[in-house]
Amino acid sequence: MNHISACFVWVARLILVGLVVLAAGCANRPSATLPPAPVNAATPDYNYIVGPGDMLNIIVWRNPELSMTVPVRPDGKLSTPLVDELAVQGKTSIEIARDVEKALAKFVRDPVVTVIVTRFEGPYSEQIRVVGEAAKPQFLPYKQKMTLLDVMIAVGGLTDFADGNNASIIRTSDGGARYYVRIKDLIKRGDISANVEMKPGDVLIIPQGWF
């Protein structure tokens, strides 16, 4: 075998190895194993977690002068005239209400407090982040029963360059597992079986297609 023939065989082997590796990668690619979003089924035991940027309506029964709407500061705390530097980040509205009652008990006899979240931002662990070829990439506060379709409506759909059927969800609640989803089938073809349930902390990645 001459030098030219040996080089040709060597190059051919490299190409063959590359094709085998590529085929193996495609074969091992995780499939969309998420089931379709259930109809009229609530996410069990979900309680909203308060985070910076949320607006809280604090209602103190029989004490309207102490009732007010206050924002959660970037440091995760809030302040009112009688409640100073109260840490609320990472807590539910019920837990915050109990903490406010304890703080007010120094000034008010047997305070009864209700806390209602009136503007939702939430901590990162509760947000849905959408990156890539969405019309309006952004983060969204998670809401109970939120689905992929709800997310796509909120971000304005896909761009003209999106490869919607090659999009994926990185699910932090599953240890960073990746699930592939079919956004194009869902919003362009109305295939409701492609609509999946979202979870707090999900990251939706929409790649650009090859044209």
Q: Structure tokens of 146?
A: 């939120």
- Is 62 in a helix, a strand, or coil? coil
CATH 3.30.1950.10 segments of the chain? 55-119
In SS3 terms, 97-142 reads as HHHHHHHHCCCCCCCCEEEEEEECCCCHHHEEEEEECECCCEEEEC
Distance CA 205, CA 203 (A): 6
**Nearest 5°: phi and psi at 14?**
-60, -45
Q: Across the 211 residues of the chain, what is the mean pLDDT of every consecutive 10-residue run?
A: 47 40 40 70 73 96 95 94 93 97 95 95 90 96 93 97 96 94 95 95 94 59
> For 132-156, how does the pLDDT look when each residue is reduced to its tens digit (9 = 90+)?
999 999 999 998 899 999 999 999 9
Distance CA 9, CA 208 (A): 36
Q: Structure tokens of 155?
A: 């971000």
Domain 31-44+124-206 falls in which CATH fold? Outer membrane lipoprotein wza fold like (3.10.560)
pLDDT at 41: 55
**Nearest 5°: phi and psi at 179?**
-125, 130
Radius of gyration of the chain (CA): 25
Closest CA to 184 of 134, 120, 144: 134
pLDDT at 13: 46
Query: Which one is the CATH code of 55-119: 3.30.70.120, 3.30.1050.10, 3.30.365.10, 3.30.1950.10?
Result: 3.30.1950.10
CATH 3.10.560.10 segments of the chain? 31-44+124-206
Among the residues of the chain, which ranges form H helices?
A: 3-27, 93-104, 148-154, 183-188
pLDDT at 28: 41
pLDDT at 144: 87
Closest CA to 121 of 73, 175, 78, 79: 73
pLDDT at 186: 96
Q: Structure tokens of 61?
A: 């029964």
pLDDT at 2: 52
| pTM given for the model | 0.72
- Is 53 in a helix, a strand, or coil? coil
118-152 burial, b at 16+ Cβ within 10 Å, e below that, comes to: eebbbbeebbbbbebbbeeeebbbbbeebbbbbbb
